[in-house]
Amino acid sequence: MPSYIQGNLALDRKRTVPAAKVKIKETTKVVYRNKSLPTQEKMLYLFTVLLCVLVAGVIIWRYASIYQMNASILKMQGEIREIQAQNSALKQEVEKLQSPDRLKEEAVRLGFNLDDDKKVSLVTPAKPKTTTSSSKNTKAASKP
C-alpha cells in the first residue's frame, strides 16, 4: 500500500523492470494401470480360501470331539474310583458278616444249640434212579 498516500489514489506507481520470465517445461508422465484380475484367477483364489476354511473347520471339529471324549473318560474314571471305593467297603462288610464269632452270635440269637459239637451228621443227596433206554422209547411211543 505504498501508493496510497494521504488519501490520494491518483499517484503513479513506480515502475519496476519486469523480471525475466522463467520458462517451466511441463512433462507428462504416462501412468499404466494394472488390469484387474481375470475371473478365473479370482475363482481360484476364492476356492483356495474356501478350502482352507473347510480344512480348518474339520481340524477344529476333530479337536472338539477329542476334548469331549477326554472329558467323558475323566468322568468315567471318577465313577470307577467311586465304585471301587464302594466295592472295598462292601468287601469289608462281607468279611465282617462272615466272621466266625458273629456267626456264632447269630446262631445263638436264632436258637441253634451249639453244645452238640460231637453230634455231626452227614447228609448225602439221594441218587437218582437210572432209567433204561427202553423206558425212554416206551414213553416216546405212548405219547401220540
DSSP conformation letters of 86-118: HHHHHHHHHHHHT-HHHHHHHHHHHT---S-SS
| Distance separating the N- and C-terminal Cα atoms of the chain | 149
Helix (H, G, I), strand (E, B) or coil at 47: helix
Distance CA 72, CA 82 (A): 15
Whether the Cβ atoms of residue 107 and residue 114 lie closer than 8 Å to each other: yes
pLDDT classification of 114: cutoffs 50, 70, 90: low
For the chain, the average pLDDT equals 82
Q: What is the pLDDT of residues 51-64, one digit of tens each?
A: 999 999 999 999 99
pLDDT at residue number 122: 72
Helix (H, G, I), strand (E, B) or coil at 5: strand
